[in-house]
Amino acid sequence: MEEILSLARKSAQEAEVFLTSFEETPVVFEANRLKQLQTRQGILVALRIVREGRIGFSTTTSLDDRVSLVDRAIEVSQFGTPARFELPYQLTYPQVEIYDPGVETLSIEQMIDLGESLIAKVRGHTPALLCDARITKGLVSVHILNSRGGEVSYRRSFFGIGLEGNLIQDTDMLFVGDSDSSCHPIGDIDKVASSVINQLELARRQASVSSGRLPVVFTPRGVASAFIAPLALAFNGRVVWQGASPLGDKLGERVFDERLSLWDDATATYRPRSRPCDDEGVPSQSTPLIEHGVVKGFLYDLQTAGLAGVQSTGNGDRVGEGLPTPSISSLIFKAGAVSFEDMVGDLREGLVVEQLMGAGQTNVLGGEFSGNVLLGYKVEKGGIVGRVKDTVVSGNIYQVLNKLVGIGQEAAWVEGAIFTPALCCSNLTIASKG
């Protein structure tokens, strides 16, 4: 890394070398049986330079590829955008707990046992269920070095379990599933198993709904499938800076329900997206986005913060082989006061949405969502009566989250990166074959 840095410094005023390597071991089950063991090892080296005030950037998969890496970054810098930042140095980093040696010592045999017992437990409830499952462990290390003398490195362990079940009766197909992840090994399969079994129970009967307007309870997984894509864009500092976020000029204004609070936190203990610093070496922090319904802040990397005249929030992530760009780390919603039972119990007629398929494939920039209820239930007189199908739920987050019926008191992690309670929304548009 030092050699790349000094080679780059011969032609550029500033330079930064980012090195990440990973090894992950997925244990894959298909159709209820162990199918495949994988070991995936990889490395990425990224060089960012500032030459005559302009950014140059290149990546490779080998530390031996130094000359070509530097040459390509220099070529790119001729056309590069003017740099608006100073590389970070002499910083103190928060202590973020993200490494558990227990992940490395956990054996493949133990992971196989875990997957087998997860499938057995769920099939103990519904023997005809066909399960695909995946138990994954991994280790990531990151090392950043820059020409200002800034240097930081860390390593993170990762463990995840996930199950998807499929039940077909005649021409009716039911898909259920859940997952759990942590930087610790997960020894307990009960959380995922009981969530899937609960879905199977609730979907046992079918129900119908007619087109019109109804209140809808989004479970934590439902929240993630419907609202996160438009929220992540709206709070992205880059989108704000270019004038495309509906929230861009709403800082300090109340836009959402006053019980709603949301923040981004890259320091949450043992979460798979936590770290002491972002991919530019800026210290991690917790950034308030919504406080009691008021827009409090946006997420920035160094370059965007420079353009916007603010400080980076430590959200500069490298996605694939690209330059750092503002990204969410862990999004955390404040839990509310209503139990899930009461939330459903208070509905005369409504829906519970567990997963909205295709919800983000519309004008998410404008806050819209519209998707097919892949897994969801009809509520009548305060009770879940059965599963609904062939039903589309649509809305706009700026209307829907402006006035909520209620916020759940139990929050859960979804997809490893979102911690959210259930949200009950009034008056959503339902289109259904009935």
Partner 1 sequence: MYRDQIVEALRGHEADYIEVRLEESEACIIQYRGRELEDLSRSTSLGGNVRVLAKGGWGFVSFNDLRNLGDKVGLAVKQARLVGKDVSRFAPVAQIVDSVEEVVAKDASSLALAEKKSLLDEYNEVIWSVPKIETSIIAYRDKWRRITFANSEGSYIEQKNADLSLRMVAVARDGGDVQQAGLSEGSRGDFTQIEGLHQKVRETAQRAVELLAAPQVKGGEYWVVLDPVLAGVFVHEAFGHLSEADFTYENERLREIMVLGRRFGGEHLNIVDGAAVPDLRGSYKYDDEGVPASKTYLIREGVLVGRLHSRETAAKMGEPTTGNARAVNYRYPPIVRMTNTFIEPQRASFEEMIGGIKEGIYVKNWYGGTTSMEMFTFSAGEAHMIRQGKLAELVRPVVLTGNIFTTLKNIDAIGSDLEMNQGGGCGKGGQYPLPVSNGSPHIRIQHCLVGGK
Decide: is 172 part of the binding site for partner 1 (CB under 8 A). yes
Decide: is 429 part of the binding site for partner 1 (CB under 8 A). yes
Closest distance between partner 1 and the C-beta of residue 219, in Å? 17
Please tell me the distance from the alpha carbon of residue 262 to that of residue 275, in angstroms, as a whole number.
19
- Sites for partner 1 among residues 259-298 (CB under 8 A): none
- Sites for partner 1 among residues 360-399 (CB under 8 A): 360-363, 365-367, 370-372, 374, 389-390, 392-394, 398
Closer residue to partner 1 (CB): 111 or 411: 111
Helix (H) or strand (E) holding 328: none
Name the E strands within 292-340. Answer: 294-295, 316-318, 324-326, 331-333
- Sites for partner 1 among residues 298-317 (CB under 8 A): 307
# residues near partner 1 by CB under 8 A = 76
Decide: is 175 part of the binding site for partner 1 (CB under 8 A). yes
Near partner 1 by CB under 8 A: residue from 19, 49, 55, 262: 55
- Quick one: how far is CA 266 from the chain centroid? 12
Closest distance between partner 1 and the C-beta of residue 93, in Å? 26
Q: How many of the other CB atoms lie within 10 Å of CB of 341?
A: 10
- Sites for partner 1 among residues 194-213 (CB under 8 A): 211
Decide: is 221 part of the binding site for partner 1 (CB under 8 A). no
**CA nearest neighbour of 329 among 367, 279, 281, 365:** 279
Q: Which pairs with CB-CB distance under 8 Å and at least 24 residues apart come from 242-247?
A: 244/365, 245/298, 245/365, 246/365, 246/366, 246/367, 246/398, 247/295, 247/298
Please tell me the distance from the alpha carbon of residue 151 to that of residue 173, in angstroms, as a whole number.
53
* Euclidean distance between the first and the last CA atom of the chain, given in angstroms as a whole number: 62
Choices 11-19, 32-40, 146-154, 283-291 (CB under 8 A): range interacting with partner 1: 32-40
Please tell me the distance from the alpha carbon of residue 203 to that of residue 181, in angstroms, as a whole number.
25
364: left (phi over 0), alpha (psi -120 to 50) or beta: alpha
- Sites for partner 1 among residues 91-110 (CB under 8 A): 108
Decide: is 90 part of the binding site for partner 1 (CB under 8 A). no
Residues sharing a CB contact under 8 Å with residue 5, sequence separation 6 or more, in sequence order: 15, 17, 145, 146, 147
Contact letters (x/-) for partner 1, 133-162, by CB under 8 A? Answer: ------------------------------
Near partner 1 by CB under 8 A: residue from 13, 38, 269, 311: 38
Choices 6-14, 39-47, 290-298, 418-426 (CB under 8 A): range interacting with partner 1: 39-47
Near partner 1 by CB under 8 A: residue from 187, 322, 345, 383: 322
Near partner 1 by CB under 8 A: residue from 13, 35, 201, 205: 35
Closest distance between partner 1 and the C-beta of residue 414, in Å? 17
Contact letters (x/-) for partner 1, 223-262, by CB under 8 A? Answer: ---------------xx--xxxxx---x------------
Decide: is 1 part of the binding site for partner 1 (CB under 8 A). no
Near partner 1 by CB under 8 A: residue from 6, 61, 117, 269: 61
Decide: is 36 part of the binding site for partner 1 (CB under 8 A). yes
Decide: is 173 part of the binding site for partner 1 (CB under 8 A). yes
Please tell me the distance from the alpha carbon of residue 29 to that of residue 164, in angstroms, as a whole number.
10
Q: What is the DSSP letter of 149?
A: S
Closer residue to partner 1 (CB): 344 or 356: 356
Closest distance between partner 1 and the C-beta of residue 61, in Å? 4
Strands 349-357 and 212-218: parallel
Please tell me the distance from the alpha carbon of residue 247 to that of residue 114, in angstroms, as a whole number.
44
Decide: is 52 part of the binding site for partner 1 (CB under 8 A). no
> Three-state DSSP class for 132?
strand
